[in-house]
């Protein structure tokens, strides 16, 4: 199979963790006899430094011509600490999402049995947790009308959705639920917000198309509580941009390390896969960052963009084995021996090859 992957390593630890995923791509291509073409592009702070633009046109063209995008991280302290900076690395990610039409963010939360004691939550609360958020990514309060008046003393942000936007994200959630445990939770605030009532009404109208999916409706504040109490009761959760932004960060703590979790941003024609951790500039260049989030993002790519389940499953199994054998970086090694970023990547590649 011929596959074209755009690789945007970005800033901070992005290049280091992405490099380990590229090693995995090479192993997978040889083991399963795929021809995988990699095209690299600049984005983020490094793109500003070299091109004056956090998402240059040539990078966008590389992404458009690809079947999927593997992304590292964006961010640099020299921009974070400069309030006067007119161009920022994060603008590149927003521009990329907009231009590629990436309307859905998929964020899984998985508890690995071998690391269950790393979580700040009790074992009996989180055991068997395997859920995924489907977050709407291009609408809602982040994109609605906003501004100031009354000499800057009055501020407003408007949450706006149309029915098509809700149907599109809910459709993806229902389809994912059919492939999993056939449970879908619509997360909203329909007791207060008109936009949430549109969400609930739209999902209710779609239920008859998916009779095999058990649908529930919960207010966002209740979900925030139950994610800590009984996260294993959830399967697929569909929600708006703002609610999804907050809840996915909350859920990321359940596994015990943000460095473990992957994500995907899905569009009609393309998709971008990235670990949920940031650029972590303090660790850049030290070969200590956890590459598992990036490698599991690659596994999501093979599953969702390419429908190659064998390839995806062997990557996930290799990661589970590395965690079980305690071949881990310092963020999760505890009292065990610590391995470097490249050590972990090599172990995973050798497992796939075996």
Same domain for 53 and 8? yes
Same domain for 135 and 228? yes
Same domain for 168 and 80? no
Per-residue model confidence (pLDDT) at position 259: 81
Strand 102-110 and strand 68-73: pairing? unpaired
Same domain for 136 and 243? yes
Q: Confirm if 241 and 85 have CB atoms less than 8 A apart.
A: no
Same domain for 93 and 144? no
Verdict on whether the full-model pTM lies above 0.95: no
Same domain for 70 and 84? yes
Total count of domains within the chain: 2
Same domain for 18 and 96? yes
Interatomic CA distance for residues 108 and 252, integer angstroms: 8
- Going residue by residue through the chain (354 aa), what tens digit of pLDDT does each one get? 899 999 999 999 999 999 999 999 999 999 999 999 999 999 999 999 999 999 999 999 999 999 999 999 999 998 878 777 889 998 898 899 889 999 999 999 999 988 898 899 999 999 999 999 999 998 999 889 999 999 999 999 999 999 999 999 999 999 999 999 999 999 999 999 999 999 999 999 999 999 999 999 999 999 999 999 999 999 999 999 999 999 999 998 898 877 889 999 999 889 999 999 889 999 999 999 999 999 999 999 999 999 999 999 999 999 999 999 999 999 888 888 999 999 999 999 999 998
Q: Domain boundary at 223, 254, 285, which? A: 254
Where in the sequence is the domain holding 220, given as residue range(s)?
120-254
Q: Domain boundary at 227, 254, 281, which? A: 254
Instruction: Please choose, from the candidates 185, 183, 219, 181, the residue with its C-alpha nearest in 3D space to the C-alpha of residue 203.
Output: 185
Residue 209 forms part of a structural domain:
yes
Interatomic CA distance for residues 239 and 245, integer angstroms: 9
Interatomic CA distance for residues 161 and 306, integer angstroms: 30
Same domain for 209 and 310? no
Residue 7 forms part of a structural domain:
yes
Interatomic CA distance for residues 234 and 236, integer angstroms: 6
Please provide the size of the chain in residues: 354
Strand 130-136 and strand 236-239: pairing? parallel
Per-residue model confidence (pLDDT) at position 336: 86
Residue 113 forms part of a structural domain:
no
Per-residue model confidence (pLDDT) at position 258: 79
Instruction: Please choose, from the candidates 62, 24, 26, 28, the residue with its C-alpha nearest in 3D space to the C-alpha of residue 42.
Output: 62
DSSP 188: E
Strand 214-219 and strand 35-40: pairing? unpaired
Same domain for 92 and 31? yes
Q: What is the CATH number of the domain that holds 52?
A: 3.40.718.10
Which positions are annotated as active-site residues? 142, 189, 221, 245, 249
Residue 243 forms part of a structural domain:
yes
Same domain for 169 and 66? no
Per-residue model confidence (pLDDT) at position 148: 93
Helix, strand, coil in percent for the chain, rounding step 5:
50, 20, 30
């Amino acid at each position: 199979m011929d596959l074209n992957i755009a690789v945007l390593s970005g800033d901070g630890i992005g290049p280091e963790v992405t490099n380990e995923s590229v090693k995995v791509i090479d192993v997978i291509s040889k083991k399963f006899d795929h021809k995988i073409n990699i095209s690299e592009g600049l984005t983020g702070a490094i793109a500003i430094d070299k091109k004056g633009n956090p998402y240059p046109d040539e990078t966008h063209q590389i992404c458009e011509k690809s079947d999927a995008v593997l992304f590292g991280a964006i961010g640099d302290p020299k921009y974070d600490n400069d309030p006067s900076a007119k161009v920022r690395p994060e603008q590149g990610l927003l521009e990329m999402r907009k231009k590629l039409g990436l309307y859905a963010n998929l964020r899984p939360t998985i508890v690995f049995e071998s690391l269950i004691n790393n979580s700040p939550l009790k074992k009996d609360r989180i055991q068997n947790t395997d859920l995924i958020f489907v977050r709407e990514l291009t609408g809602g309060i982040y994109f609605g009308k906003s501004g100031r008046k009354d000499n800057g003393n009055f501020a407003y942000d408007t949450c706006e959705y149309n029915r098509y936007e809700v149907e599109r994200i809910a459709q993806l959630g229902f389809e994912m639920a059919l492939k999993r445990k056939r449970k879908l939770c619509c997360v909203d605030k329909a007791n207060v917000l008109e936009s949430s009532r549109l969400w609930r009404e739209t999902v209710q109208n779609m239920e008859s198309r998916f009779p095999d999916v058990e649908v529930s409706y919960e207010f966002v504040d209740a979900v925030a509580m139950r994610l800590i109490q009984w996260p294993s009761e959830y399967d697929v959760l569909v929600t708006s941009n703002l609610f999804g932004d907050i809840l996915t960060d909350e859920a990321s703590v359940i596994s015990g390390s943000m460095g473990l979790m992957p994500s995907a941003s899905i569009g009609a024609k393309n998709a971008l896969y990235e670990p949920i951790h940031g650029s972590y500039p303090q660790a850049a260049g030290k070969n200590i960052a956890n590459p598992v989030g990036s490698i599991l993002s690659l596994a999501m790519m093979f599953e969702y963009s390419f429908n190659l389940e064998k390839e995806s499953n062997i990557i996930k199994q290799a990661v589970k084995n590395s965690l079980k054998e305690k071949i881990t970086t310092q963020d999760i090694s505890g009292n065990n021996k610590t391995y470097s970023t490249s050590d972990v990547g090599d172990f995973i590649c050798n497992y796939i090859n075996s």
